[in-house]
């Protein structure tokens, strides 16, 4: 079991006290491959003083590797990834990219702004998921290195043109990845537009704290700082309700609860047709809207790895990875089977533009700047000699 008594403490990156710490950090650029259209894709490798390593590519701003130590000091990649750029181009499961313009689902692929209805790209039946057929995850981003005493990083940026996937306005987007010497992976989002549009940006990782391809995540302990979740219909569109998690499989408010334990419980929401008999649901976080606070804590008791996610976003989407069937393999050659990895996405409510009861709104207008920050902090419990 792990301690959540200090879960609301804000994580603040510490400034390195000497040049040695700065020298121990590094950010390197290499060629990752070319797309089918001949576009060059670069990979940025961030490494901190303790050896934690993050690799991200300019295609989709995808994080391909997140390599962290366990309680015995052994390193492994805790993100499910794919073998090469061709595999990422063919991917329909959103393996590690930034998604947008609208992360999660939009009912009937539509929304209305000032009386005008916009129809965007449908890629899940009649509905739109994570920006459509060719959302931000299928685009080449510009990139530049970042480094100072507190972190190493990379900034990805692009302009989504007016009408891309049906969305109005030219939207300029910047997503910054930072790695600190405190083993924090910080993601900062920024967006502006020249026409009213909708904006809901998030990162879509598949985590397995045992290491990519090393079994399933059912024994992971999972804590979510949410007393409410949003039920969905059989197309995974929210019904508009926000209901209590108490006495349901959606109650992850105790640190000792595992994902597998909750899947053994009976509940109509776990049998939603498109959900595959598991979780693909939005949790409404307990913290004040726009405040920075805990979203979830995940712990693997076998190797002691712990992940603490904090965010400014109001919600957390949780997908339990039920869609894997062994046909997809990672870069290490290991196949991914059912529940091979879980997805946690800090974000605004799904389908918010069509759900007036969901707050805050996702409308972005000219003159305003969308900003958001999430922190994925890694640590270990126990270890050799403890």
Q: Do the Cβ atoms of 187 and 177 come closer than 8 Å?
A: yes
Candidate list 155, 184, 313, 345, residue with the active-site label: 345
345 counts as catalytic: yes
Would you state the structure tokens that stand for residue 55, as one six-digit string? 């690799």
Q: Do the Cβ atoms of 91 and 123 come closer than 8 Å?
A: no
Give the integer Cα–Cα distance in Å for 170 and 188: 20
Q: How many CA atoms lie within 13 A of 383 on its CB side?
A: 11
Question: Tokens 């390193």 sit at which residue?
Answer: 75
Would you state the structure tokens that stand for residue 327, as one six-digit string? 């046909």
How many residues are there in the chain? 386
Give the integer Cα–Cα distance in Å for 302 and 382: 10
Give the integer Cα–Cα distance in Å for 65 and 54: 6
Give the integer Cα–Cα distance in Å for 293 and 227: 15
Candidate list 130, 155, 184, 204, residue with the active-site label: 204
Give the integer Cα–Cα distance in Å for 267 and 248: 7
Give the integer Cα–Cα distance in Å for 352 and 228: 16
188 counts as catalytic: no
Question: Tokens 């590519």 sit at which residue?
Answer: 57
Q: What separation in angstroms does the CA of 24 have from each of 21, 44, 52, 93?
A: 5, 17, 11, 35
CB burial readout 242-254, b (16+ within 10 A) else e = beebeebbbbbee
Would you state the structure tokens that stand for residue 182, as one six-digit string? 């405190």
Q: Which residues are catalytic?
A: 204, 345
């Amino acid at each position: 079991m792990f301690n959540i008594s200090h879960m609301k403490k804000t994580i603040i990156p510490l400034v390195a006290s000497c040049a040695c710490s700065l020298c121990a950090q590094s950010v390197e650029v290499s060629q990752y491959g070319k797309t089918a259209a001949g576009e060059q894709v670069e990979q940025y490798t961030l490494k901190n003083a303790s050896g934690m390593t993050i690799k991200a590519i300019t295609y989709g701003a995808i994080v391909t590797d997140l390599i962290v130590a366990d309680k015995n000091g052994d390193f492994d990649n805790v993100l499910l990834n794919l073998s090469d750029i061709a595999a990422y181009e063919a991917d329909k499961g959103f393996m590690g990219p930034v998604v947008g313009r609208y992360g999660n689902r939009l009912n009937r692929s539509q929304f209305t702004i000032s009386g005008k209805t916009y129809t965007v790209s449908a890629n899940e039946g009649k509905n739109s998921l994570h920006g459509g057929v060719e959302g931000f995850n299928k685009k080449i981003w510009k990139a530049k290195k970042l480094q100072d005493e507190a972190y190493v990083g990379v900034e990805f940026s692009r302009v989504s043109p007016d009408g891309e996937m049906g969305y109005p306005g030219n939207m300029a987007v910047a997503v910054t990845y930072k790695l600190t010497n405190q083993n924090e992976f910080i993601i900062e989002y920024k967006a502006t537009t020249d026409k009213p549009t909708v904006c809901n940006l998030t990162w879509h990782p598949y985590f397995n704290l045992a290491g990519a391809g090393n079994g399933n995540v059912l024994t992971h302990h999972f804590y979510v700082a949410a007393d409410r979740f949003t039920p969905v219909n059989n197309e995974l569109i929210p019904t508009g309700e926000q209901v209590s998690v108490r006495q349901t499989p959606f109650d992850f408010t105790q640190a000792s609860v595992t994902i597998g334990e909750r899947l053994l419980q009976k509940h109509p929401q776990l049998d939603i047709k498109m959900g595959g008999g598991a979780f693909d649901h939005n949790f409404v976080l307990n913290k004040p809207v726009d405040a920075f606070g805990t979203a979830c804590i995940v712990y693997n008791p076998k190797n002691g790895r712990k992940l603490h996610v904090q965010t400014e976003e109001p919600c957390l989407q949780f997908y339990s990875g039920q869609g894997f069937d062994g046909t997809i393999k990672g870069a290490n050659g290991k196949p991914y089977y059912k529940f091979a990895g879980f997805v946690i996405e800090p974000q605004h409510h799904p389908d918010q533009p069509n759900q007036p009861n969901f707050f805050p709104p996702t409308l972005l207008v000219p003159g305003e700047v969308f900003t958001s920050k999430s922190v994925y902090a890694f640590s270990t419990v126990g270890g050799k000699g403890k």
